[in-house]
Chains A and B, each alone.
Chain A
Amino acid sequence: MVLASLSLASAQDSRMSLPTTVGAGSAFSIHSTGSGKAVLYIVGPGQALRRDVQLGESTYFPVGSLYNAGHYLVILVAGSSTDNGWVDVVPANTPANLSFLAKPSRLPIGLHNGISGTVYIFDVYHNLITKPTPVSFKLSNPSGSAQQRAVTAHEGVATTEMDSSEKEGFAKFEAQVDGISSTRVVEQVPGSPCGLTMIARPSGKGIQLATNPVRDCSGNAVPDGTIITFTESYDGAQSTADVPLKHGVAQVEIPAHPGATITVASGVVLGNEIHWQK
């Protein structure tokens, strides 16, 4: 379909009428004057086409012939004569694809503007739709609360920033443009252990050490696998064990030494201290 006004390209023996702009993937025609056979070229960085044409007739390009947005040089070659012109292929108006970049995919709870989302809007042929377009972003937290932003895309791109919640879990981050949406998952993870405590009890010749369920300062359970370090100091010597949390607690058995001082830590966070007297 011819979208815009036609321009008449100059020529010597043959002339052609070109559309100034063509919608990406739309049908269009190029009419030529004169008689005889000629070759029509449409060439740009985005595509290259060639058609054998009959001068004096319209050459029809069906839907999907020229689909990459860009500036195309059109050349009509009839024998020794050549006629040139330009045609612009513009993106379709309807968004069809979104490139949604949500960062980070994992972050601690309670961070202001910690989550960013950037969306690039494309038509069905992956041309960037550069006209201003409204975009809505929505971050749904596991607790049910949600943050929403409405942004207008400039030059095909829109961006926003959101806060991470106080509650751990997977949040749904969605960008929506004209009925097309794209969703990302953002993991909001607990912070460092808070109020780390352990208990000790005798176990044969050793001591069975176990932490209480380890939580962060917001009360979220610290993930399994987090390393808890137990250190037992006695008589100028010490025993240590790096133990991963399993089901929320870490436990290990170490040799018993009367008078030993036992400490617990996770990363740079220190927990309680026990003096073993038995």
Chain B
Amino acid sequence: MNKGRVLAVFITAATVALIAIGTLWPGKTALQYSGGKNLLRTSSTPQAAVENLGDEIRLRAWGAAYSSLGNKAEFSQSDFVHDLTGYYLSLRTYATLESFEVRPLHASSDQAEVRLRMHWSSVVGPFTTTRDLQVVKNGDRWNVDWPLVRKTVVPPQVIPENYLRWDVIYRGPGDDWGVQDVEAPHVRIVDMHPVQRAEGVVVLGELLNEDVVPAYVSVRATLQSKSGSPISTEGSFDKISHILLPKQVTPFFVNFPNATLSDVGSIRMEPLSGLVSASAGPVIVIENQQLNPAPGATVTGQLVNQSGQVVNIAHILETLYDKTGQVVWVADQYTDHALLPLTPIPFDIHIPEDLARKVSSERTIVETYSVGGVH
């Protein structure tokens, strides 16, 4: 064979080989775009079957995921999709599966139980859901039996609602000095103290709306050195209820990453308040709230939406107090299920182990988001 022919064969063979390598053992970026899929992995083991299902969920390849299920005859593809993304618009609806873990629980020759722990990313932060899956052998392949949680049906009923609502008519953009404007609501910080944590300094506290109108509130904190010079300024971001009804109290949590409390001479707090249109509803009752001690300290309970409207996302803010009534921590969680009227939704909020021992009591407030209710 002459050199030219050898070269042609070499280039062709090398190209094919390189493509094969890139496809059978794709790189990190390629895997990311293919949703973790490669051509080597078939559902030849229970674990591989669950991993393939996880990949398909991640790619939102619902058809392929549904087709791979062993018990798909028991429900429709729509049911399957809604079980994962929520029957009502909720945090799950727009969440994307960022990654997942698969852990075999036990296995026999034709049946296995595998735990699928799914890490979702959502606009308000990541959350994790866990499903224990039965995997059954079907010929030389394994199929997942999906444990479908069916849609909650709310019994027909009439729930009267006439929540108080405040509207604010703002001045136009023009300058009209001397024309009276409505006063900003009066708010007051009723508790505040800093805590040193491994990740930095945290300023905790509570803010009260002393006024008779709803307030938009926010808290800004500035750490100052012993010489009085500012070290850093941060805001409370989402660990606060930004809309406070009259006489309502919210916790706040201001995080200063990489700061050291010993460097701090003083803290300047700036509670901000403004008029805001707001509604007094919906009322959310927190039932059976319980502090579960360390190890694995949590606060658990259930949220019950006492209104007739669906709450799409609820944000639970947990204020934890020590025996003297001082705030020791503020924990929070977003619900990944919509809150249907009068339907309890459980919550389970983690508390740092080292603080759990100090906690003597807790107080919970719930902020809500309903589609169309923000404008």
Contact = CB atoms under 8 A, between A and B. Distances in A.
- A–B: direct contact at CB < 8 Å: yes
Contact of B180 (A185, A190, A243, A254): A185
B199 interface: no
Given A99-B178, A252-B285, A237 B247 contact: no
B178 A246 contact: no
Given A193-B247, A244-B245, A225 B178 contact: no
Nearest to A185: B180
Main secondary structure of the interface of B (DSSP, over half): loop
A105 B180 contact: yes
B342 to A, nearest CB: 10
A107 to B, nearest CB: 8
A189 B291 contact: no
A104 interface: yes
Contacts of B283: 241-244, 252
Contacts of B280: 224-225, 244, 246
Contacts of B284: 241-242
Interface in A180-234: 182, 184-185, 189-190, 192-193, 222-228
B247 A254 contact: no
Most buried by A among B182, B248, B283: B248
B145 interface: no
A266 interface: yes
Given A240-B363, A240-B364, A267 B289 contact: no
Interface string A38-70: 000000000000000000000000000000000
A226 B212 contact: yes
B247 A267 contact: yes
Contacts, number: 111
Contacts of A189: 211-212
A190 B212 contact: yes
A234 to B, nearest CB: 9
B246 A236 contact: no
B164 A239 contact: no
Contacts of A252: 283, 285, 306
A120 B178 contact: yes
Contacts of A246: 162, 164, 280
Contacts of A30: none
A236 B291 CA distance: 8
Nearest to B366: A242
Contact of B183 (A99, A105, A244): A105
Contact of A223 (B183, B210, B246, B286): B246
Contacts of B214: 225
Interface in B16-61: none
Nearest to A244: B280
A101 B178 contact: yes
B109 interface: no
B287 A226 contact: no
B177 interface: yes
A267 B212 contact: no
A224 B284 CA distance: 18
A190 B285 CA distance: 27
A107 B211 CA distance: 8
A106 B291 contact: no
Contact of A242 (B212, B288, B365): B365
B163 A239 contact: no
A140 to B, nearest CB: 16
B207 to A, nearest CB: 11
B182 A106 contact: yes
B122 to A, nearest CB: 25
A238 B288 CA distance: 5
B202 interface: no
Contact of A227 (B248, B287, B289, B364): B248
A243 B307 CA distance: 12
A141 to B, nearest CB: 18
Contacts of B290: 236-238
B330 interface: no
Interface in A105-154: 105-107, 120
A31 to B, nearest CB: 40
A184 B179 CA distance: 8
A240 B183 CA distance: 31
B320 to A, nearest CB: 13
Nearest to B208: A267
Nearest to B280: A244
A99 B301 CA distance: 56
A250 to B, nearest CB: 10
A267 B248 contact: yes
A224 B366 CA distance: 20
Given A104-B183, A227-B248, A241 B286 contact: yes
Contacts of A101: 177-178, 180
A100 interface: yes
Contact of A266 (B181, B247, B285): B247
Most buried by B among A222, A224, A240, A252: A240
Contacts of A227: 245-248
A239 B248 contact: no
Contact of B288 (A100, A237, A253, A269): A237
Interface string B201-243: 0000000111111100000000000000000000000000000
Contact of B287 (A99, A243, A254): A254
B64 interface: no
Contacts of B286: 239-241
A103 B190 CA distance: 25
10 contacts: A104-B183, A106-B183, A224-B164, A226-B212, A239-B285, A242-B245, A244-B163, A244-B283, A246-B280, A255-B287
Interface of A: 98-107, 120, 182, 184-185, 189-190, 192-193, 222-228, 236-244, 246, 252-255, 266-269
Given A240-B363, A244-B164, A252-B306, 7 more contacts: A99-B177, A103-B183, A106-B211, A193-B247, A236-B291, A239-B288, A266-B247
5 closest Cβ pairs, A-B complex: A99-B178, A244-B280, A267-B247, A227-B248, A226-B246
